[in-house]
Structure 1
Amino acid sequence: MNFQDKALCKLRTITTFLVLDKNRALWQQEILKASDFCLRLSAQFSEHNYQVQSIRIVTNAFSEYLDTTNVETAKQDLQFIRSLLNEIKSDGLRIRFAIGEAKTAHEITLLPELIKEFGDLCNACVNIPIDDFMVLNKPLIDASVKAVEQIAQITERGEGNFNFTVNFNCQPLIPYFPASYHDSALGNRYVVGFETPDLLVKVLSDFNQSEHGLSAQQTLNQQQILMSQALKYHVSQVAKIIEKFENNSEQNQFLFSGIDSSAAPSKDCASMVDVYKQLGVPFFGASGTVEASALLTRVFKSITELPLVGFSGLMLAVTEDRGLAQGTIDSDYDIRSLLTYSAVCGIGLDTVPIPGDTAPEKIAALMADTGTMAFRLNKPLTVRLFPVPGLKVGDLTQFESDDLCNCAVLAVP
């Protein structure tokens, strides 16, 4: 198997961004238009042996189309949308739906019950702004903390927090959930997101097994070059497929906006920990992790064949990556470590399990630390925490979701 093998590079998602308004009569037409587009493009990728794992639909801010008077009115509208989504013949592809961002404290209060009721068809985020003094919006952070706590209490094992994140300095058109949101002024768009840990491990493993006789510095340089070349190869192939698809489509109602080149690990591919080990780091969290993280980020940012959107960086999702999950059990790293690595890479604190009785003030402070880094370093970062009811530091989670790995609960410093 060489790095050109398309089985090494999966497409995590084709994500469409559409605009809905209060006219309920148009929702079916718009949602079907988005799903049909995704399915047609997915078929094109499949013809060229690229596996598409999911199709995703993201809307503008949900207050612009749902009746947000109260939880019940919002539920009625989402029930209608769920019925529309359930009618889609997706050929076995997973369909995920994001209702966009919550903009006010009132809208945030609606999310726990909506996520409990609709789960993966109700992914949502909050974008926390800063003021002229570079101070984060504290009321929105506090409202978000309350939502995280409530979701933890009313969903099984607190798993509902998989569908909610708090964004800092994030722009629209992120293809990965639940940080995705859309700005209605942009009109209908689409983005492709990658999953490439298998590719990175293959490239590094082949290199390390060869007799190259290079110095440590030369080795890192060559590893970076080889990973970039491999990723660029597959991006160029995807670009050709997209160009052909658009040239052959008479009515393309979605504008291509770019790709998110993030590795986006999952339970079903190699762990990012394996990538770090191939780069010479004994374990994720050991000395050298920061250097390797920065190197990997440079690889993801090196793409020029297509526009980069979203994170396009190193993703360290604790409970979605088997190796990172095991690292919590082995006490290889902690929350402070994850924040440190976010300075040179990453998406912040993603799917991090914490004690169920963590004080809200500590969660708010953790969000504020992450947000401060995001704006100070001018990079997108998110916080997606899992306060697990009844569990203390070091306890092992008992998640049942197909998306989540079980790991040890981390302390909030």
Structure 2
Amino acid sequence: MDIRSVTLFSDPDFPAAKMADFFTAVQFAFPYPLQSTRLATPAFPEWWPDDVHGETQIQQYAQQAAQQWQEAGANYISLGPVQLPHDTRWIDKIPALLAATDVLFATVEIANTQGQIDTARCQQTAALIKTVSQILPNGFGNLYLAALANCAPGSPFFPVAYHQGGPAHFAIAVESADLALQAVQAATSLDEARQNLVNAIETAAFRLTLTAQKLADEYGILFSGIDFSLAPFPTDDKSLGGALEALGLPYLGSAGSLFAAGFVAEAIARANFPSCGFSGLMLPVLEDSVLAGRAAEGVLNVQDLLSYSAVCGVGLDTIPLPGDVSEGALTAVLLDVAMLASRLNKPLTARLMPLPGLAAGDPVTFDFPYFADSRVMGIAGGRLAGLLMQGAQLSVNPVKSDK
């Protein structure tokens, strides 16, 4: 198990010296390897200077801000979402922001935490995804962009991370798919596998919490919890897909996969630890060797992954799509994510990656240590039409409110 990130949530004017001292202290404080230190600000339309507009000015300001935060110890920075009340002009700024540097992340809210879905915002986000796919020749720009549905502040994983505002706090995001794989491999029954995982999570979380609380006391920054989503790394021994298959699936994508995903997610919920964020399953296709392999074989598709999100997950993450995927098809996927998140009252994200020049079934290879090789996935169906393409803001009641 590794720590994916220690994420500091603060206003953008948080003292640089204090940030630097804190990030320096966390580097070797924990009993597990730390991959990165990250900063999450409030929604950037709330603090972005009024006089910074136009592509050149946006890029210059973004580069300066990123450099200051990097010098204070932040490896990556999440700028906070364009939320439903924000004007669409803020969405228009995102391509320039992401083109300015490779350390800034941005998000767009398509459904809020009060059960409101904006179908026009889904269309606007689809257009943004297409635009961002052209920033770099290989489409890598969308690694730094996600759509958010029912996502509250305070999750330490990127790109979803953002600060509510007010006093600074920090949280821990772990990379722990190997714990699930080990728990299943050591078990002779489902009950034993579940208890193995609960025990492993609680043991690791206890050790993390001890260190985190000491840091909180020393630096006067509140510790707000651990997101124990079972995030993978693209090797078979750290594959969440491998853990699900180890339960007895012939392959991920077969019947029984949803049960397996729900079973592991429910085990996480049983564990006693200071939880924040998703604390569920993370099924990013390109970050997991088994998921990437099953997608390449054509036995795991986008609809499968979305259905698993109903019982476990984070949503659709690092999904390689055809470069010519239509805005309508992307909108359809975002509408599905928004409705699923709102009806089930759970946080979901969509990080969709159209890859220029590639078609469904084409091989996908990135020179990036956190991605596995795969193939481009298609989206079922054609373009939306009719009422679904009319912009609307809808209030959606969660399932438990139906009766």
Normalising by the smaller structure, the TM-score range is 0.7 to 0.9
Counterpart amino acid of residue 12 in structure 1: R
Q: Distance in 2 between matches of 1:314 and 1:160?
A: 24
Q: 1:403: which partner in 2?
A: 370
Decide whether the 8 Å contact of 1:100 with 1:124 is kept in 2. Answer: yes
Q: TM-score w.r.t. structure 2 length? A: 0.88
Decide whether the 8 Å contact of 2:262 with 2:312 is kept in 1. Answer: yes
- The yes-or-no answer on 1:237 pairing with 2:219 is no
Q: 1:110: which partner in 2?
A: 93
- Per-residue deviation at 1:87? 3.0
Q: Choose which of 109, 117, 131 in structure 2 pairs with 1:127.
A: 109
Decide whether the 8 Å contact of 1:39 with 1:55 is kept in 2. Answer: no
Q: Distance in 2 between matches of 1:321 and 1:328?
A: 11
Decide whether the 8 Å contact of 2:5 with 2:35 is kept in 1. Answer: yes
Q: Distance in 1 between matches of 2:367 and 2:137?
A: 9
Counterpart amino acid of residue 259 in structure 1: I
Q: 1:195: which partner in 2?
A: 175
Counterpart amino acid of residue 293 in structure 1: A
Q: 1:14: which partner in 2?
A: 6
Q: Which runs of 5+ in 1 are unaligned?
A: 1-8, 21-26, 209-218
For residues 255-280 of structure 1, the C-alpha deviation after alignment (integer angstroms, 9 at most, x for no partner) is 11111010111225611122012211
Identical aligned residues as a percent: 29
- The yes-or-no answer on 1:168 pairing with 2:188 is no
- The yes-or-no answer on 1:61 pairing with 2:15 is no
1:31 and 1:266, CA in 2 relative to 1: closer, same or farther beyond 3 A? Answer: farther
Q: Number of matched residues?
A: 374
Q: Choose which of 239, 262, 269 in structure 2 pairs with 1:271.
A: 239
1:86 and 1:311, CA in 2 relative to 1: closer, same or farther beyond 3 A? Answer: closer
For residues 345-400 of structure 1, the C-alpha deviation after alignment (integer angstroms, 9 at most, x for no partner) is 11111110111111111110110011100000010011110111111110112322
Instruction: Give the CA RMSD over aligned residues.
Output: 2.0
Decide whether the 8 Å contact of 1:66 with 1:74 is kept in 2. Answer: no
- Per-residue deviation at 1:131? 11
1:135 and 1:177, CA in 2 relative to 1: closer, same or farther beyond 3 A? Answer: closer
Q: Counterpart of 1:207 in 2: which secondary structure?
A: coil
Q: 1:224: which partner in 2?
A: 194
Point out the more displaced range, 372-381 or 193-202.
193-202
Q: Distance in 2 between matches of 1:338 and 1:326?
A: 14
- Per-residue deviation at 1:32? 4.1
Q: Distance in 2 between matches of 1:86 and 1:230?
A: 34
Decide whether the 8 Å contact of 2:40 with 2:161 is kept in 1. Answer: yes
Q: Distance in 2 between matches of 1:161 and 1:275?
A: 27
Counterpart amino acid of residue 66 in structure 2: R
Q: 1:214: which partner in 2?
A: none
Higher helix share: 1
Q: 1:83: which partner in 2?
A: 67
1:143 and 1:30, CA in 2 relative to 1: closer, same or farther beyond 3 A? Answer: farther
Counterpart amino acid of residue 365 in structure 1: A
Q: Distance in 2 between matches of 1:368 and 1:86?
A: 35
Q: Distance in 1 between matches of 2:318 and 2:192?
A: 32
- The yes-or-no answer on 1:43 pairing with 2:43 is no
Give 1:322-333 correspondences, 5 Å limit: 322-333=289-300
